[in-house]
């Protein structure tokens, strides 16, 4: 099944991955190795391909060129059926949470387990696992609420609970802008939850974010995607003091010269 030699501390590898949509090159021969048990943060401007990269890891997109490896297996050539086994171990927390408005909080958290274990686990077992996951993210007592009753931060926590509500827990969680739209205090809760899951469940995390405060707080390693390639790669401290102009401007929140030029044109 496409077994490959992989270093045991690497759980995910992208090798020369390229992706284009029409004439737009989104990823251009990108290489990435994610260490087991780490939090890897990917930063970059909107539209630079960060979310596209995440979707390659979980098989929602397939590369035009290159390879995607998970646990030593080349998975980009897997059939949808084969990829189901990978998705049992890799959870995806979407930017907009992807909660079902017609379901209660408990039903939202239980839904993936019901799909995965249909007929093999009782409703009671699934409900207990959902309750445990909600308690883990500080949302105990919210089971009967609907998503419309929740704040933005609470919805994020329910989405996290759904991501971890498996037995055994996922090996990897992919986060697409987990603090987007949250005030600083609620964003801090999400940051602490990401670290909590890393420490208590030994989860490997890949986090896409624009939030430099979040990148500093959760990242063991930070990479910046720019012009379809990684322009920076290092610890949060190393990236924050980068002398590369595009990296420096991004981490300091400074506009690019071409963006400023458009403001002065008559």
What are the DSSP calls for 149-211, one per residue? Answer: GS-HHHHHHHHHHHHH-SSSPPSEEEEESTTTT--HHHHHHHHHHHHHHHHHH--EEEEE-S-
Whether the bond between 170 and the residue before it is cis, its omega within 30 degrees of 0, is no
pLDDT, averaged in runs of 10, over the chain (266 residues): 58 97 96 96 90 94 97 94 88 81 92 76 87 88 92 87 84 91 86 89 92 92 95 95 93 81 63
* Residue 172 and residue 89 in contact, taking contact as beta carbons nearer than 8 Å: yes
* Residue 45 and residue 208 in contact, taking contact as beta carbons nearer than 8 Å: no
* Residue 6 and residue 33 in contact, taking contact as beta carbons nearer than 8 Å: no
> End-to-end distance of the chain based on CA atoms, in angstroms?
60
Helix (H, G, I), strand (E, B) or coil at 133: helix
> Whole-prediction pTM value?
0.86
* Residue 1 and residue 73 in contact, taking contact as beta carbons nearer than 8 Å: yes
Cα-Cα-Cα-Cα dihedral of 126, 132, 138, 143, to 10°? 30
Tell me how far the alpha carbon of residue 72 is from its chain's centroid.
Answer: 20
Domain limits, the chain: 1-89+203-266
pLDDT (0 to 100) of residue 142: 92
Compute φ and ψ for 15, nearest 5 degrees.
-125, 110
pLDDT (0 to 100) of residue 208: 94
Compute φ and ψ for 208, nearest 5 degrees.
-95, 130
* Residue 71 and residue 1 in contact, taking contact as beta carbons nearer than 8 Å: no
pLDDT (0 to 100) of residue 4: 46
pLDDT (0 to 100) of residue 18: 98
CATH of domain 1-89+203-266: 3.40.50.300
pLDDT (0 to 100) of residue 167: 76
Helix (H, G, I), strand (E, B) or coil at 126: helix
């Amino acid at each position: 099944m496409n077994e490959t030699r992989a270093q045991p501390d690497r759980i995910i590898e992208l090798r020369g991955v390229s992706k284009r949509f029409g004439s737009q090159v989104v990823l251009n021969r990108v290489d990435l190795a994610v260490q087991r048990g780490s939090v890897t943060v990917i930063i970059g401007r909107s539209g630079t391909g960060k979310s596209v990269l995440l979707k390659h890891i979980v098989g929602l997109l397939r590369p035009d060129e290159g390879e995607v490896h998970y646990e030593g297996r080349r998975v980009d050539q897997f059939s949808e059926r084969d990829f189901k086994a990978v998705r049992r171990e890799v959870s995806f927390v979407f930017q907009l949470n992807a909660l079902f408005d017609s379901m209660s909080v408990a039903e939202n958290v239980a839904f993936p387990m019901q799909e995965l274990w249909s007929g093999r686990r009782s409703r009671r077992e699934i409900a207990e696992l959902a309750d445990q996951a909600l308690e883990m993210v500080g949302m105990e007592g919210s089971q009967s609420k609907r998503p419309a009753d929740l704040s933005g931060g609470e919805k994020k926590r329910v989405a996290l609970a759904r991501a971890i509500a498996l037995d055994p827990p996922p090996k990897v969680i992919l986060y697409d802008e987990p603090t987007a739209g949250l005030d600083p205090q609620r964003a801090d809760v999400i940051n602490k939850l990401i670290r909590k899951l890393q420490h208590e469940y030994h989860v490997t995390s890949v986090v896409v974010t624009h939030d430099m405060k979040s990148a500093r707080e959760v990242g063991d390693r930070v990479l910046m995607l720019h012009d379809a390639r990684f322009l920076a790669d290092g610890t949060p401290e190393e990236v924050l003091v980068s002398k590369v102009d595009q990296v420096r401007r991004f981490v300091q929140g400074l506009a690019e010269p071409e963006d400023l030029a458009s403001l002065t044109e008559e």
